[in-house]
Structure 1
C-alpha cells in the first residue's frame, strides 16, 4: 500500500516532524519506507528520514507492507495531517 503527501511543515521533515512520524509508527510490524526523489529509506529510523532533506512543498510517498499495513497507513495519515506536517497529495 502507498500514499502520497505534500509536506506543509515550515521546517520540512527535520527533527520535530520526523520524530513525531517515527514515534507514531514504531509499534507497527509492517515494513515502511518513505520515498523522496527516487530515494527510499526506512520510515522507522529518524536519522534515515532526516537524511532525505525533505523541504516544505516537497512530495513524498509512504510505502507500507505487512499484516498491519492498512492500520499503519491510516495512523501515518492521521499524524501527518493532525500535526500539520503534510496534506494528502
Structure 2
C-alpha cells in the first residue's frame, strides 16, 4: 500500500474536467485508489465522489493506492496532477 499526499496546483482546482481526468486515469489501474482529506476518503474511480471533495487550488489531498500496479498508478496520477490536468498553468 502506498500512502502519500498530492497538491492540487491548477488554477481551477479539481473541477469537473480535472475530476474526470483523475477518475479516468485511476480507472485504468486495477489497484484500489482512494483520495480525500482528513477522515473523508472517497473512491478515486468515482466521478461524483471526487467532485464532492471540492478541492480548490492549493488543497492538499491524501492519496491511498493498494494493489499490484500501485507504483504505476501513483506515477500516472502524480504526472496528471503535476501537469495541471493538461490545462496549463
Instruction: Please indicate, yes or no, whether the TM-score normalized by the shorter chain is above 0.5.
Output: yes
Q: Measure, in 1, the Cα distance between the counterparts of 2:76 and 2:3.
A: 13
For 2:28 and 2:14, locate their aligned partners in 1 and report how far apart those are by CA, in whole Å.
Answer: 21
Alignment of 1:10-89 (within 5 A): 10-82=11-83, 84-85=84-85
Structure 1 vs Structure 2 CA RMSD: 1.2
**Shift, 1:78, TM fit:** 1.2
Structure 2 residue matching 1:29: 3-state secondary structure: coil
Q: Please give the TM-score of this superposition, normalised by the length of structure 2.
A: 0.86
TM-score (norm: length of structure 1):
0.86
Gaps of 5+ in 2: none
Number of equivalences: 84
Residue ranges of structure 1 left out of the alignment (5+ in a row): none
Q: Deviations over 1:7-57 (max 9, x none)?
A: 112221110110111111212110000022321000001110001111111
**Segments ≥4 residues shifted beyond 6 Å:** none
